[in-house]
Amino acid sequence: MSNEEEFYDAVTGLDSDESCEGLSEASFKDAQVFSSSSQKKNGSVPQENGIKKHRTSLPAPMFARNTISVWSILKKCIGHELSKITMPIVFNEPLSFLQRITEYMEHTYLINRACALSDSIQRMQAVAAFAVSAVASQWERTGKPFNPLLGETYELIREEKGFRLVSEQVSHHPPVSAFHAESLVGDFVFHGSIYPKLKFWGKSVEAEPKGTITLELLKHNETYTWTNPTCCVHNIILGKLWIEQYGTMEIVNHSTGEKCVLNFKPCGMFGKELHTVEGYIQEKSKKKRCVIYGKWTECMWSVDPQIYETHKKSEKRGDNKKQKNEEVEGADNDDADNMPEIQETVSVVPGSVLLWRIDSRPPHSATMYNFTNFAMSLNELQPGMEAVISPTDCRFRPDIRHMENGNMDEASKDKERLEEKQRAARKERAKNNEEWSTRWFQMGTNPYTGSQDWIYSGGYFNRQYHDLPDIY
């Protein structure tokens, strides 16, 4: 067996010609044992209790942004879509957007929980918690991920979380990123395509993540779809940067007709609703079965609707008495959208069930672009990977690699070089009347929503990488 084959077996726990579908739990455990022994034999990947260890820090801390004249760069961008404007590297964090959307998978245990539950309402609760957890990593993440180059890919295999994922940048204008993740034991498939529509409004940048997210629980023959809320970064020009999410997320179980409607509330004038998420799960008959509430930065809970309404009425009477004794403070500030003081953490209604709680971030996160532990590991290039993963994988992008190593000048030069190379390739294709051809995803129709979607065509993990574009 070659070193490449050994590495592939080690990171996937599968033989090269073996599909993950149909693997029993026992064979998955056998694959884990084989994986561990293979890695120990190679000596390439550190182990802890048989589980591969990943780095928990970046090679260099983030740079200081306070010396940059942001306004001189952004004043020409007001009202325009930022994806069509070349932005300096000062706004970035050292990850590609393909890696950023992979952070949906940080809380994969919630999907695994849904797979194990026999009641469809309880499964919807777990799926709702997973959908909220997918945006939790954005809290305090004010750096912009790198726009992926056309044809760029990213793969991630995590035995301890039980999934493997591949993504591809399938379009440049508009920028569309397609991804496909699947359970290593054949329990679920999670896929979608995201078009992050960014706009600058003077003080803030608004990111509307257009695109449908689809989760299939194969054991239960169920499919869920939803779209993510809008994210807004405040005080781009002046003041402390802060993030809020707002909008309605509607999760539909296409098999049962059940829905979960979640309202990500804007913070409001006094900041009382900052980070708040509130909604409900209803049957096909529209009867409400439970209320879901919490904060996307902290935790999510579920409770009976009648108990919740009674509690809210009691709470509202107390708030009205309090408000009479308060004066309205602070008119609009023309200089900065001051972040409201963080209110008390979620007030738990008696009788509630905890669905999800955010993991604490590492103590050095603030000097590492506010990354979570999961994010810290995404651009790690482990020994042996170079010979196995696709040459279009964004771990090989030199501008991102330079940035995470703290070499900002080299990162900026390579970013400009890659963008110019991409423009030149586009002109060459136009000159020869050639259309761009995607490799791992094809445009199709989402059978559950009827909308256009990018569907994984398979074959990535066969490791047959030939005729790939030279994008770096």
- Identify whether the C-beta of residue 54 lies closer than 8 Å to the C-beta of residue 39: no
Q: What is the pLDDT of residue 67?
A: 52
Per-chain mean pLDDT for the chain: 82
The arithmetic mean of pLDDT across residues 313-339, rounded, is 56
Q: What is the pLDDT of residue 144?
A: 86
Distance CA 385, CA 405 (A): 19
Q: What is the pLDDT of residue 74?
A: 56
Q: What is the 3-state secondary structure (H, E, C) of 188-224?
A: EEEEEEEEEEEEECCCEEEEEEECCEEEEEHHHCEEE
pLDDT at residue 31 greater than cutoff 50: no
Q: What is the pLDDT of residue 5?
A: 40
Nearest C-alpha neighbor of 152 from the set 91, 215, 101, 224: 101
Distance CA 63, CA 118 (A): 49
Q: What is the pLDDT of residue 205?
A: 79
**The token pair that represents 27 in the structure block:** 């064979």
Q: What percent of the chain has pLDDT over 90?
A: 59
Please, what's the largest Cα pairwise distance for the chain? 77
Q: What is the pLDDT of residue 2?
A: 42
Distance CA 269, CA 180 (A): 40
The helix-helix angle for 109-116 and 120-136 (nearest 10°) equals 180
Q: How far is CA 184 from CA 34, 155, 189, in A?
A: 14, 14, 10
Residues 106, 107, 109, 111, CA torsion sign: negative
Question: Does residue 387 sit in helix, strand or coil?
Answer: helix
- Identify whether the C-beta of residue 237 lies closer than 8 Å to the C-beta of residue 70: yes
pLDDT category, 109, cuts 50, 70, 90? very high
pLDDT, tens only, 57-99: 999 999 876 655 555 555 555 555 555 556 678 889 999 999 9
User: Strand 176-183 relative to strand 188-200: parallel, antiparallel, unpaired?
Assistant: antiparallel
Q: What is the pLDDT of residue 3?
A: 40
Neighbours of 62 (CB within 10 A): 18
Q: What is the pLDDT of residue 337?
A: 65
Provide DSSP, 137-176. Answer: TTTT--SEEEPPPTT-EEEEEETTTTEEEEEEEEETTTTE
| 65 or 302, greater pLDDT | 302
Nearest C-alpha neighbor of 27 from the set 42, 14, 43: 14
Provide DSSP, 38-89. Answer: HHHHHT-S-EETTEE----S-SSPPPP-TTS-HHHHHGGGBTSBGGGS---G
pLDDT at residue 38 greater than cutoff 50: no
pLDDT, tens only, 144-173: 899 999 999 999 999 999 999 999 999 988
pLDDT, tens only, 42-57: 334 555 555 678 999 9
**The token pair that represents 5 in the structure block:** 């084959």
- Identify whether the C-beta of residue 292 lies closer than 8 Å to the C-beta of residue 278: yes
pLDDT at residue 378 greater than cutoff 90: yes
The arithmetic mean of pLDDT across residues 6-11, rounded, is 40
pLDDT at residue 198 greater than cutoff 90: no
pLDDT at residue 274 greater than cutoff 80: yes
Q: Of 358-362, 388-392, 397-401, where does mean pLDDT reach its minimum?
A: 358-362
Distance CA 422, CA 173 (A): 12
Residue 457 Cα to chain centre, angstroms: 22
Q: What is the pLDDT of residue 287?
A: 94
What pTM did the predictor assign?
0.82
